[in-house]
Amino acid sequence: MSSQTAHSRTKRLTAPEIRARKGKIPLVVLTAYTTPMARIMDPHCDILLVGDSLGMVIHGLPNTIGVTMDMMILHGQAVMRGADTAFVVVDMPFGSYEAGVEQAFANAVRLLKDTGAQAVKVESGPTVAATIRYLTERGIPVMGHVGLRPQAVNVDGGFKAKGRTEAERLKVIKEAQDSEAAGAFSIVVEGVAADLAAEITKLVSIPTIGIGASADCDGQVLVTDDMLGLFDWTPKFVRHYADLRTEIGAAVEAYAKDVRDRSFPAPEETYFAK
Whether the CB-CB separation of 111 and 122 falls below 8 Å is answered with no
Binding site, by residue number, is 52-53, 91, 121, 123
Question: Of these residues, 190, 247, 253, 268, which one is catalytic?
Answer: 190
Is 190 in the active site? yes
Query: Can you point out the beta strands (E) in the chain?
Result: 27-31, 47-50, 87-91, 119-121, 142-147, 186-190, 208-211, 219-222
Binding site for Mg(2+), by residue number, is 52, 91, 123
Q: Residues 6, 235, 188, 167: is their CA dihedral positive or negative?
A: positive
Q: What share of the chain is helix, strand, coil (3-state, %, to 5)?
A: 45, 15, 45
Is 250 buried (19+), middle (13-18) or exposed (0-12) by CB count in 10 A?
exposed
Binding site for 3-methyl-2-oxobutanoate, by residue number, is 52-53, 91, 121
Determine the Cα–Cα distance for residues 206 and 254; give it in Å rounded to an integer: 49
Determine the Cα–Cα distance for residues 252 and 273; give it in Å rounded to an integer: 30
Catalytic residue numbers? 190
